[in-house]
Structure 1
Amino acid sequence: MGSATTQALAASNAALHAASGVDLGVSGELFAAGRALADAPQLSGALSDQGASVVARQKVAEDVFGVLGATTRALLATVAAERWSTADDLVDAVEELAIRAAAIGGADADVEGELFQFSRIVAADPQLELALGSRLGDPAAKGALVDSLLRGRASDATTLIAASVVQRPRERRVRELLARAERLVAAQRGRTVATVTSAVALSDAQAARIGAMLAAKYDTTVSVNTVVDPTLVGGLRVQIADDVIDASVASRLADLRQRLAG
C-alpha cells in the first residue's frame, strides 16, 4: 500500500466515523458502488486521476452515484477527493468502507464470528468454494447463493458482507475475502482477531481466558475464533495478526525430530 493510499484510506475511514445515518442501507449502496467501480476501470481511473481537480473528480462521482443516499454520496465524495496510489486502491477502499458500514449497522451481531464460521464452511466444501471462486460464474448468482445459505442463519450484516464480497473477488480467493472482511469488522469495533486451534473443543470459559491473556499481551481487545484439529495431539496454536504462537504437542514433536536429525 503506497503512502498516498495510506493517508487517503485514513481520511475515508475518518469520514465514515464522523458520518451520521450509517446503516446496512449505506453499506449496501457502498458495495454496489464498489462493484460499479470494479466493472468500469475508466470510472475508477477518473476518480483516482490526480491530473484532474478535486472538484472535477467529485463531480464525476456525483454524476454517476447521484441516485444513492446522501450519506453514501458524501462518503464517495471524500474518496474522490483523496489521493490514491492506484485506481485499484480506490476500489478496495470503497469495499472497505462498505464492510465497516455493515459492522456499524450490525453492531448487535457477532459479525466476526459468523464470517469466520462461514469461511470454515467454505473451506470444508470444495464444490462450494469452487462455485463461489470460479471466474466463469455469474457474480449476481454467487451473491444469491451466499444469501440463500446464510439468510435466517446469520445476521443481516454478515449476510450482506459475505454475499457482496464474493461477487467481485478481483483475483482473491473466497477465504481470503472473508478473512479480510472479518479483520475489518473487528478493526471497526476496536478489536483484533485471534484464531486458536486446539486438539479438542475449548469451553467458552477457556476461550474467554485465552482472549483475556492475549488482550493483556497485545494491549487490545481480542475476538477469539476456535478451531478443532485433532492432529495437534495437545496444546494450542494461536494466530493473531502476523504472529503465530505454536505450543502444540505436534509442533514440539516435529521440532524434536528435526533436532535429532541433526
Structure 2
Amino acid sequence: MRGASHESLARAEEALAGVTVSEGLGGELFSVAKLLDGTGALRRALTDPARPRDARVALVQQLFGGKISAQTQEILSVAAAGRWVSSRDLADALDQLSIEAEVAFADGRRKLDDVEDELFRLDRIVAAERGLSETLSDRRIPVDARQELLGGLLQGKADAVTVRLAERAVDGRGRSFAAAMRSYQVAAAARRNASIATVRVAADLSEAERTRLATALGRQYGRDIQLNVIVDPNVVGGVRVDIGDEVIDGTIAARLDEAQRRIAG
C-alpha cells in the first residue's frame, strides 16, 4: 500500500495493538474483508472521501453493531475513518489485520514459534506434493471442500491458528496458496521484529551452522533473522539466501556463472 492507505493501515494496526485479541478476532476481520470484496457499493461507501468521516464510522455501527465483537468493530471503525487510495485497499488492510490478529493470538499463548514452524513445513509439503498443490488450487472445487481436505490433514497435528491460516490460504482472495502462506510467515516474523531468510542448501545444516548463519545475517541486516532452510538437490555446493527482494548467492553454480560472464566479456 502507498500514501494515505499506508497511513490508514498503520492507524488500524495501532487500534489492533490496543485491544485484547480474542481467538475469533482474526476470523471476523477476514469475514468483513470478504464481504467488502463482494460488495462494491459498501466498499465505496466506507472509503468515499466525499463522505464525512463520522458518517463512515456511523455506517459501520449501523451495519455491524451487535453482529461482530466490540474489538472488531473498534478496529473497523478506525479503518473506515481513514483515507484510502483505492476502495479495495480497505479490504486488503482488513485481510492483513486479520493475519496480524491471528499471529498476536498465537504469541499471547506462547505458540508463535510453533505456528511459524508449522506454516513453513506445511508450505514445503504442499510445494513438494504436486497432486495436493493442484487440488488446493483448483477453483473448480468448492472452497469449503478444499478447506475440509486441508483441515483433515492437519487435524491433531498443528495449532488451531496454523489450521485457520492454512484454510484461509486456500480461499486466497486472489493470491496463490504459496503466496498467502509466505505472507503469514512474514507476519509471524514481524511480530518478533525479525526477517525471514529462505536458505537453500544441498545438504541440511546442523544447529550450530544455522546459529552461525543467523547470527552473521543478523549483524549484516541489523535485526533478528528467522531461517527457513530448504534442502535443494539443485544447489551445487555453498548456500543461497533470499531475504525479501535481496539474494545472496554463494553457490558454486553461481560462481561458475559469474566466471563465465567475465570470460565472455
CA offsets 1:148-204 (integer angstroms, 9 cap, x no match): 22232221111111212321432x221111111211221123111111111101122
Deviation at 1:248, TM superposition (A): 0.8
Contact 1:35 1:168 in 2 (8 A): no
What count of residue pairs does the alignment treat as equivalent? 260
Counterpart CA distance in 2 for 1:153 and 1:204 is 24
Report the residue type matching 1:50 in the other structure: P
CA offsets 1:80-115 (integer angstroms, 9 cap, x no match): 111111122111110111111111111122222222
CA 132–252 in structure 1, closer or farther in 2 if over 3 Å, else same: same
Residue aligning to 1:230? 233
Contact 1:23 1:104 in 2 (8 A): no
Residue aligning to 1:44? 43
2:257 paired with 1:258? no
Counterpart CA distance in 1 for 2:43 and 2:169 is 18
CA 132–58 in structure 1, closer or farther in 2 if over 3 Å, else same: farther
Deviation at 1:72, TM superposition (A): 1.0
CA 136–52 in structure 1, closer or farther in 2 if over 3 Å, else same: farther
Unaligned stretches of 5+ in structure 2? none
- Following superposition of structure 1 onto structure 2, how do residues 197-216 of structure 1 map, counting pairs within 5 Å? 197-216=200-219
CA 163–259 in structure 1, closer or farther in 2 if over 3 Å, else same: same
Residue aligning to 2:168? 164
Deviation at 1:60, TM superposition (A): 2.3
2:91 paired with 1:56? no
Contact 2:199 2:229 in 1 (8 A): yes
Deviation at 1:137, TM superposition (A): 3.1
Counterpart CA distance in 1 for 2:223 and 2:68 is 36
Deviation at 1:261, TM superposition (A): 4.0
Report the residue type matching 2:166 in the other structure: A
Contact 2:46 2:56 in 1 (8 A): yes
Counterpart CA distance in 1 for 2:27 and 2:183 is 18
Contact 2:172 2:180 in 1 (8 A): no
CA 143–38 in structure 1, closer or farther in 2 if over 3 Å, else same: farther
Deviation at 1:249, TM superposition (A): 1.1
- Following superposition of structure 1 onto structure 2, how do residues 53-132 of structure 1 map, counting pairs within 5 Å? 53-66=52-65, 67-107=67-107, 108-109=110-111, 110=113, 111-132=115-136
Deviation at 1:75, TM superposition (A): 0.7
Counterpart CA distance in 2 for 1:137 and 1:115 is 23
Deviation at 1:4, TM superposition (A): 0.9
Counterpart CA distance in 2 for 1:24 and 1:180 is 20
Deviation at 1:29, TM superposition (A): 1.4
CA 44–131 in structure 1, closer or farther in 2 if over 3 Å, else same: farther
RMSD: 1.7
2:180 paired with 1:177? yes
Secondary structure of 1:31 counterpart:
helix
Deviation at 1:41, TM superposition (A): 2.1
Counterpart CA distance in 1 for 2:26 and 2:161 is 9
Report the residue type matching 2:22 in the other structure: D
State the TM-score, normalized to the length of structure 2.
Answer: 0.91
Counterpart CA distance in 2 for 1:184 and 1:69 is 23
State the TM-score, normalized to the length of structure 1.
Answer: 0.92
Contact 2:165 2:184 in 1 (8 A): yes
